[in-house]
Structure 1
Amino acid sequence: MSDSDFIHATLTAHLAVIRDLATLTPQIAQIADQMWAGLTSGGRIFWLGNGGSAADCQHLAAELVGRFARERPGLASIALTTDTSILTSVANDYGFNQIFARQVAALCRAGDVVMALSTSGNSPNVLRALETAAQLGVTRIGLSGGDGGQMRQLCDHCLCVPATNTARIQEAHIVIGHLWCDLLEQRAVTVASEFPQLDR
């Protein structure tokens, strides 16, 4: 296959997956509702994932704390993937599978929302974090691909991109994440004065 053919095939596959996201419209909107409910009740949104998903977590948390496209109050959103001292100390003392669960146990409370990203849905450290979040009464949202793996059973709602290729799933995840940022921002612009807890 020539480089040109490869590029064309890859872009075609990407567009097919993005087009299929339209079938998930009700679920995407429902999750935005759950995120908004957490924020307006004084909760925070915590993001966790590995590798490319960790980068997505940081990206999306930053969009909410800063801004996506409009001026509005900052939204309480924290990526649990950024503090290298915490990540390495917990991994060293308790094992890599506990790097997110330990943070969830220390930082989360009922009313918060945990956003767990895993293309396979089977990352052990993500699963342990979801189990811990469940014990705390925290809302658990999963963003995965295929059938959602084991994560699907541990989430209040698990959104599964209809694809099996990891790169295509990751590309879809950032599109979905941007939709959530945009939806939350639209609400924050409209009703921020009614919810002073949004501007911390």
Structure 2
Amino acid sequence: MLEARIQHHFFETADLLNQVAEALSRPISEAAQAAVGCLTAGGKLLACGQGADADLAQWLCAALMLRFERERPSLAAVALGPALARPLGGQAGPAPELLLATQISALGQPGDLLVVFAGLLSTDPALHAAVQAAHDKDMSVLLLTGGDPGPWPDRLAETDVWIPVASPRAPRVRELHLMALHALCDAIDIQLLGEDGPA
């Protein structure tokens, strides 16, 4: 009984991967092209997420700054923190829903790329404010969502890229977002270094 339930997790993920592989290949390719265009023009990637999705932002930036599977020069990528330390003197900082947007306003430049891991948080005010702050700075956005996208499609600009995973289960969404990051990092390396590497 327990073994069958454990196997079901693997089967469910495998089925979902097969369902979305073709549909997500185009937006992941577009995301890789946007990232390489940004980085080769002297821009940087800013990445953010809430809760466990913030770990995906950290993972992406580590893979770009250090390496994915191949040695290459470091790429400019910064994971934004979901919280800021209280300033000296105890002054109140920005409201919690504006913490990410404040960092984007301070660090973002036109031509930079914001990567947002929204998971199942279709109405999270902090993530919506982050996307708006990026647009205000003439930055493009790469948005990864799961489940019901809610108002997200209406918040995106023409230059933005959307990678939706239509699963209502947070573990499956996170697994597929990590798989999308693997494919994205590989595609970035291929564009920068050529195809002589792991497939």
Q: Same fold (TM over 0.5)?
A: yes
Deviations 1:57-81 (A, max 9, x none): 0011000000111111111111002
Alpha-carbon RMSD across the aligned residues, in angstroms, is: 1.8
Q: Which runs of 4+ in 1 moved over 6 A?
A: none
Q: Which fold has the larger relative contact order, with Cα–Cα distance below 8 Å and residues 6 or more apart in sequence?
A: 1
Deviations 1:14-56 (A, max 9, x none): 1111222312111111111111111111110110001111001
Report the 3-state secondary structure (helix = DSSP H, G, I; strand = E; otherwise coil) of the residue aligned with 2:151: helix
1: distance between equivalents of 2:152 and 2:38?
Answer: 21
Q: What is residue 168 of structure 1 aligned with on the other side?
A: 172
Q: Higher helix proportion, which one? A: 1
User: Normalising by the residue count of structure 2, what TM-score does the alignment of the two structures yield?
Assistant: 0.87
Q: Which shifted more, 117-126 or 60-69?
A: 117-126
Q: What is residue 118 of structure 2 aligned with on the other side?
A: 118
2: distance between equivalents of 1:4 and 1:16?
Answer: 18
- Where do residues 182-193 of structure 1 align in structure 2 (5 Å cutoff)? 182-190=186-194
Give 1:154 shift: 2.1
2: distance between equivalents of 1:162 and 1:20?
Answer: 10
Q: What is residue 89 of structure 1 aligned with on the other side?
A: 86
Q: What is residue 153 of structure 1 aligned with on the other side?
A: 154
1: distance between equivalents of 2:54 and 2:41?
Answer: 26
User: Normalising by the residue count of structure 1, what TM-score does the alignment of the two structures yield?
Assistant: 0.87
Unaligned runs of 5+ in 2: 195-199
- Where do residues 1-200 of structure 1 align in structure 2 (5 Å cutoff)? 2-22=1-21, 23-81=23-81, 87-89=84-86, 93-120=93-120, 121-155=122-156, 156-190=160-194
Unaligned runs of 5+ in 1: 191-200
Check the 8 A contact 1:68/1:181 in 2, yes or no: yes
Give 1:146 shift: 2.7
